[in-house]
Amino acid sequence: MTTPLLIILIGFLIFLGHYLAQLFDRTKIPDVVGLLLVGVLLGPVFHLIDPAAFGKGGRVFSNLVLVFILFESGLEVRFEQLRSALRGTMGLTTLNFVVTTLVVAVLAQLFGGLDLLSSLILGTILGGTSSAVVTTLVRKVNVSEQTSTTLVMESALSDIFTLAIPIALISFYTGSSFNLVTLFSQIVSSLIVAVLAGAGGGYLWSVLLNQVPMLLKTRFSTPAFVFILYGLVEMLNFSGPIAVLFFSVTLANVTLLRPHTLREYFPSRHVELTAMEKDFFAEIVFLLRTFFFVYVGMSIVLDNGYLIALGVGMAVVLFLVRIPVVLATADRQTPQFDVAVMSIMIPKGLGAAVLATLPVQRGIPTGPIIQTLTFAIIMATTVLCTILFFWSRSARFWAFMPFSPVVAAR
């Protein structure tokens, strides 16, 4: 595709994104589905654009989208919400990861012809949820702040499992050393260091904002600091998304944490975006997410009909097993509608797609099967999630949701 045509396409996608967003407001049909389908048509169907042509730029772009979305979401979280959400988030994240890994591993062995270790690699790659998709959808539905925070936290925390464990298993498969104690310590240290880095960065930036008022007049100083923080944490092989999330949460709640002896160094009010800044960043997030979902659609590989059908079947099973996982971990006072939304929020994202390419790069014989199944499940879970998200407003939806009266009570 020539440069002029590419520029025309970018303009067309921006208009399409606005149209789909307005269509969502009127009909409640999720715009994510339309964007994904456009990406599929541009990429694997008509081959107008090859995602490989973007090289590392594609991964940089996906990380940029994630940083902006997590940063904007964290500014809306208050510590009382975070404290309530954390009680259920760790249980939900861990149980969902374990159940997803086991279910995918069993199905991959029975129907995909994978050996045990390859099946576990596939399962751990798909054990988390996509922060970009979850955060986008959860902000468009009327759920409690605690539920919203729980889902955002789950998508961020699951990155720790889906990064450390698959890479460790791939290294073991290719003959490198594997140590369970080392793996556990890496997961714990990644979480602790990322939280401390994010909270510490939030404190540091609040001091700079208090001491250098000029920074408050600029629109990109805070995001620039967030980019630096994210990059430094990732360079140290810890979780950048967790650091960004806790940075913005700390920044939004800094007045609650001011030490009495250091009050003069901290702002006397919440560090919040002005109405103009919120509109500005909302437009940026809109543009980024529009291109992000088109890029995900272009990245899907459609080269084996059986494996694609198997991936779709796996996605359906994952939605079914998600229901008992949520029921087992949700607070007893969680509203029925919130439980339903939590039960369908399992879309897989670009992070899983990137990890799925590693077995091929490392020369694992089952690498192509792992990659194709992962791409199929990413597409299927994202589309099914958005469809169920729309369907959850229908009375027929509840006939398929076996919630107990205690959990479902408002």
Whether residue 409 is predicted with pLDDT greater than 90 in this model: the reply is no
Residues 19/38, Cβ–Cβ less than 8 Å: no
Domains of the chain: 12-44+55-395 (1.20.1530.20)
How much is the average pLDDT of 245-255? 81
- At residue 406, the pLDDT reads 39
Whether residue 305 is predicted with pLDDT greater than 50 in this model: the reply is yes
Residue 29 CA to residue 233 CA, distance in Å, equals 37
CB-count burial class (<10 Å; 0-12, 13-18, 19+) for 37: middle
How much is the average pLDDT of 291-317? 86
* Average per-residue pLDDT for the chain: 80
Beta carbons within 8 Å of 261's beta carbon, 6+ residues apart: none
CA distances from residue 318 to 163, 322, 378 in whole angstroms, order as listed:
20, 6, 12
What DSSP designation does 128 have?
Answer: S
Q: What is the pLDDT of residues 270-289, one digit of tens each?
A: 455 556 666 777 788 788 87
- At residue 279, the pLDDT reads 74
Beta carbons within 8 Å of 137's beta carbon, 6+ residues apart: 30, 32, 345, 385, 386, 389
User: What whole-number percentage of the chain has pLDDT above 90?
Assistant: 23
Residue 69 CA to residue 14 CA, distance in Å, equals 18
Whether residue 37 is predicted with pLDDT greater than 70 in this model: the reply is yes
Q: Quickly state the pLDDT bin for 375 (edges 50, 70, 90).
A: confident
Q: Is 131 helix (H, G, I), strand (E, B) or coil?
A: helix
- At residue 174, the pLDDT reads 76
Residues 334/142, Cβ–Cβ less than 8 Å: no
- At residue 407, the pLDDT reads 42
The angle at the Cα of 320, spanning 316 to 324, to the nearest 5 degrees, equals 160
Q: Which carries the bigger pLDDT value, residue 404 or residue 238? A: 238
Query: How many helices (H) and strands (E) in the chain?
Result: 17, 0
Residue 125 CA to residue 104 CA, distance in Å, equals 10
Residue 59 CA to residue 402 CA, distance in Å, equals 39
- Tokens 């199905």 -> residue: 107
Which two structure tokens, joined as six digits, stand for 247?
Answer: 């940075």
- At residue 408, the pLDDT reads 40
How much is the average pLDDT of 216-220? 73
Which secondary-structure segment (H or E) carries 408? helix 405-408
Which two structure tokens, joined as six digits, stand for 271?
Answer: 């560090």
Residues 106/168, Cβ–Cβ less than 8 Å: no
How much is the average pLDDT of 130-136? 80
- At residue 410, the pLDDT reads 36
Q: What is the pLDDT of residues 324-348, one digit of tens each?
A: 999 999 888 888 888 888 999 999 8
Characterise 65 by phi-psi region: left (phi > 0), alpha (psi -120 to 50), beta (else): alpha
Whether residue 401 is predicted with pLDDT greater than 80 in this model: the reply is no
Whether residue 30 is predicted with pLDDT greater than 70 in this model: the reply is no
Residue 295 CA to residue 285 CA, distance in Å, equals 15
Phi, psi of 192 (to 5 degrees): -65, -50
- At residue 223, the pLDDT reads 84
Beta carbons within 8 Å of 141's beta carbon, 6+ residues apart: 341, 389, 392
Residue 7 CA to residue 13 CA, distance in Å, equals 10
Residues listed for the chain: 410
User: What whole-number percentage of the chain has pLDDT above 70?
Assistant: 83
DSSP-assigned states of every residue in 277-328: HHHHHHHHHHHHHHHHHHHHHHH-----HHHHHHHHHHHHHHHHHHHHHHHH
- At residue 273, the pLDDT reads 55
Q: Quickly state the pLDDT bin for 371 (edges 50, 70, 90).
A: confident
How much is the average pLDDT of 57-70? 75
Which two structure tokens, joined as six digits, stand for 170?
Answer: 């791939």
Residue type, 145: E
Whether residue 247 is predicted with pLDDT greater than 50 in this model: the reply is yes
What DSSP designation does 349 have?
Answer: -
Q: Quickly state the pLDDT bin for 27 (edges 50, 70, 90).
A: low
Residue type, 213: P
- At residue 261, the pLDDT reads 45
Q: Which carries the bigger pLDDT value, residue 6 or residue 401? A: 6
- At residue 81, the pLDDT reads 66
How much is the average pLDDT of 301-317? 90
How much is the average pLDDT of 198-226? 82
Q: Quickly state the pLDDT bin for 350 (edges 50, 70, 90).
A: low
Q: Which carries the bigger pLDDT value, residue 111 or residue 152? A: 111
DSSP-assigned states of every residue in 222-269: HHHHHHHHHHHHHHTTS-HHHHHHHHHHHHHTGGGS--GGGGGGS-SS
